[in-house]
Homo-oligomer: A and B are copies of this chain.
């Protein structure tokens, strides 16, 4: 089972966007036990795409194409593949209906080229697009048995389509007697190199299950993968390896699963315990609350909060005494504790997080870029924590947000 990935898009060849789709798809296929032997990129050009298909069909059983399913003249992946395999293009009824519906809802006249997006090959399987309009295609050529998988280019459309529609099909089609079973462990507060060092002998000697570390933004995950014939056999093998890992680095472990995050774990803990949180954000200017707001149903644990970016709004919104700010400054233990206490009182919640510090690029109140305070108020009082991190504005703000969630998580599980 040899696969290759062809990304279609001149903007990749111009270096304007990074080909993260290839990375995502490679990972997905690897998880399904399908080996990717080549990745390639061609521009929005009929002849060169055709040439690439000719090369690919000689060497691969599964050809995954992404990009070029949109409504513009540049989008020609479907047309070229149809011609290459000798099929016609027809409208997918479901996709067509969704597009018509979309036009009505947006109160917008649909142009003729809109309907290019909902074309599929004859004798193919349509892949619905949960987050967009372009329909994907799964097609196996009768004679050569080469499979063509056509996916949309925007990662926001490609990823859900891959997870929801393609994974089940590939599992079914390429099912082997042994399958891969994975478990993802998530760690916060430990860097990838230290995690790998702590586990180096395990990583080097483990064959089945294997351990694959991935550094993500502000966290590290470990994917344990075992190849075996049933989920019942996989479980104990994964349990055994996980126990060894947890013994060494369990203090940094916060949760399971690819589709998980520190924020989700914290919100689940709040829901479970029936507690609510608010925030007063200076340094992070709403980023902590925005992370909460991304999750649906968060209103039961988060009623709202404050963005107090200036000294004056700390005084006006939070009723902090201006003499406190005059005496200690806004980037201070005293200020962050007052922010946490006051926001908790005003929002009538169980917990309040407060953030104040220097996101940069310039120093503030004589304090270096990357230094910040986080305060946590609860019914037991208030605690405050000082951090000094390196990085640019975005990195510093994101690290502060994550540190805030970690403080709250530790409070919730203590």
Binds B, one of A161-169, A209-217, A405-413: A209-217
**B26–A39 touching, CB < 8 Å:** no
**B303–A304 touching, CB < 8 Å:** no
The answer to whether A55 has its CB under 8 Å from any CB of chain B is: yes
Interface centre among A36, A307, A359, A394 (most CB of B within 10 A): A307
The answer to whether A302 has its CB under 8 Å from any CB of chain B is: yes
Q: Which residues of B contact A19 (CB under 8 A)?
A: 18-19, 22-23, 39
Instruction: Kindly state the separation between the CA atoms of A370 and B73 in the bound complex, as whole angstroms.
Output: 30
Interface centre among A316, A347, A360 (most CB of B within 10 A): A347
Q: Contacts A37-B48, A41-B38, A397-B293: A307 and B309 contacting too (C-beta < 8 A)?
A: no
Instruction: Kindly state the separation between the CA atoms of A40 and B111 in the bound complex, as whole angstroms.
Output: 36
**B40–A39 touching, CB < 8 Å:** yes
Q: Contacts A72-B213, A307-B289: A14 and B42 contacting too (C-beta < 8 A)?
A: no
- Give chain A interface residues in 19-47, CB to chain B under 8 Å: 19-20, 22-30, 36-43
CB distance from A172 to the nearest CB of B (A): 22
**B131–A196 touching, CB < 8 Å:** no
CB distance from A71 to the nearest CB of B (A): 4
The answer to whether A102 has its CB under 8 Å from any CB of chain B is: yes
The answer to whether A194 has its CB under 8 Å from any CB of chain B is: yes
CB distance from A111 to the nearest CB of B (A): 5
The answer to whether A15 has its CB under 8 Å from any CB of chain B is: yes
Q: Which residues of B contact A29 (CB under 8 A)?
A: 15
**A70–B360 touching, CB < 8 Å:** no
- Give chain A interface residues in 152-184, CB to chain B under 8 Å: 154, 156
Give the contact-size bracket for chain A. Answer: 35 or more
The answer to whether A13 has its CB under 8 Å from any CB of chain B is: yes
**B310–A106 touching, CB < 8 Å:** no
The answer to whether A285 has its CB under 8 Å from any CB of chain B is: yes
The answer to whether A299 has its CB under 8 Å from any CB of chain B is: yes
**B41–A22 touching, CB < 8 Å:** yes
**B303–A306 touching, CB < 8 Å:** no
**A37–B26 touching, CB < 8 Å:** no
Q: Which residue of B lies closest to A59 (CB)?
A: B51
Q: Which residues of B contact A362 (CB under 8 A)?
A: 296
- A42-74 contact mask (Cβ, 8 Å, vs B): 1 or 0: 110000100110010001000000000011111
Instruction: Kindly state the separation between the CA atoms of A312 and B286 in the bound complex, as whole angstroms.
Output: 19
**B302–A309 touching, CB < 8 Å:** yes
The answer to whether A308 has its CB under 8 Å from any CB of chain B is: yes
Q: Please give 7 more A-B residue pairs, beta carbons under 8 A apart, in addition to A296-B361, A299-B310.
A: A38-B52, A106-B389, A131-B391, A284-B293, A285-B293, A307-B307, A317-B317
